[in-house]
Structure 1
């Protein structure tokens, strides 16, 4: 596997020199300063690439290999008049990246918001901090802070009462913090933070948009992007919706194995692949991650290796656990990815290695108290990378031995 590390650019508290020391060989990055829908020009891509790849001769070089993400403009998702220019710009950006040798592209098709958490510093028994999604807090935000129209219809009476109690017990500062956690511009989102009114207006744009409507918008987008990706040798890797279920009245369309089957039936090209985000998919209990790694192995171009622990009393609530200590059999997931790589190698497919990265590490040790991108502190991800690296090396040796015998 190709060990990669996400870097948010020159303002990232974790520097390129820091990353070099982790042993990762590849960088996952994006041009976060360019507004959604605009073209990433060749000069801007090359400048960013130089920041990653230029180093002294006595240092280990890094390579910008994966883009995460080229954001998809909301007008494409809504198929508004004039949205074609944004599809054209997305394709031009993809072409420019390919000319620079960057040919694995992670993207998502989530309406309005990127990944959503209620707590960005949930204290663990170890004293470290994790990201958390608390369903009751989220409901309190939806019902009593956002006061979304007709939101009550999506909750049971017991859920509404529990959310009201949570809301009543919050201070004004806690309510503000919860709001910011949910609607602020989080890492991976390339727009400015929304105000509450802006957020309401964005949600209102999706009134009447169904799962089928949004899915058709994705298929229409891919029908234009995929032929060009095939010609360029680009691999597209769609990221699942996070959390993987409908929320805030918004439809979600990449949540389960069934959703992926629908996607690949509509767009069967090998260029049409996935980011196997283990933590996201496993935040709903009906997703079998080792099974999905096996089922969709040929489609996996990129993988986020992280785990979550769900609340046994409320399965929609979860916190981001240590990489090997969660509700997921991470070892079996990694084994399936290695088996898939071996299959590609034996069939002479070329470029058989799957890009993986540790995702959403805990804020711990000397990183506590530092300003970090939520989920992307250095030490926690280094711990996660070290853990999964040990599993990879052990399993790879076993698979190789078994094959030789």
Structure 2
């Protein structure tokens, strides 16, 4: 059988644009496949700028603790494509992935379709054939025209905090971007809404009102915060006193709140909420690396990995570093040329001593290390360059033993690191 990697390489060639937001091609291939999206288990659809993946992972941890079988679709992957499609608790097998991709390729018959669209169709096809209790769908980009937004009757929608990102596709302003995210809201379907800036919240509320969709809004209908080393969550049903999430960072308190609100809306209680925050696993979200060549090169330095890549991600990472025990912190950073690099770096400047810029291996849109270095300097961070992550880590370990080293700036860079050190 042809490997999934070989099939995926062919699928990359079907459309000249990596991103081309539209539902037309998606509806065409799904019709050719017999509309599998209509036969998948009840859907929880998750959109937002930051926190989608973490929130979805917490919901999944809670549901699985209740003994539920859960499909999950996420993107992008880190180490291997199979991570994107989880069938009833397990990553899709190589044989099933290859067979499903070939079936979608045949149904598409060589017509233009983006890589994300045809692989999302493959996920729907796989989900329709394996029994489960729930399907968790993470939006790829935006919401209104995202390939996942073909499910007419989800059970629940979730919108995590919305901020400025992907302006070339979603619009220049926060209300425009929020309008795209709010495109997942369906008539009469409840929607959990994470904390939003005023303009984004107004857009989401207007969309929900037009569709008679009940909203459960952070800071109004539910809230979550940390107190005395615990996570406190409360809503109209009462208060929960829970352990802190095992994903570090203040922003994970917000993500946990949205996940718990979703679980409560689905009828689950404190045991599932506890599991959501204590059993969740989500790589490259302030992840401590403990093995591999990079850990060896770091010697007695702490080595961390984070995939955040936009200004809100930089703010979240800065708050995480500020809350950690004091230790000199140095960044090894690689970014894409499609990102607001200085917007990402400015919040980090007060928390770090230096930055070493690196290219992202194999990424066509990698920002040259020299450009990343300049952006860091413009943001107030002392910066230099290195040819790769290993060189950068070894240099920091030599110059400041015992420091904290954080590899950051891109999920693509994080994926490359995990393939070598995961």
Same-fold call, TM > 0.5? no
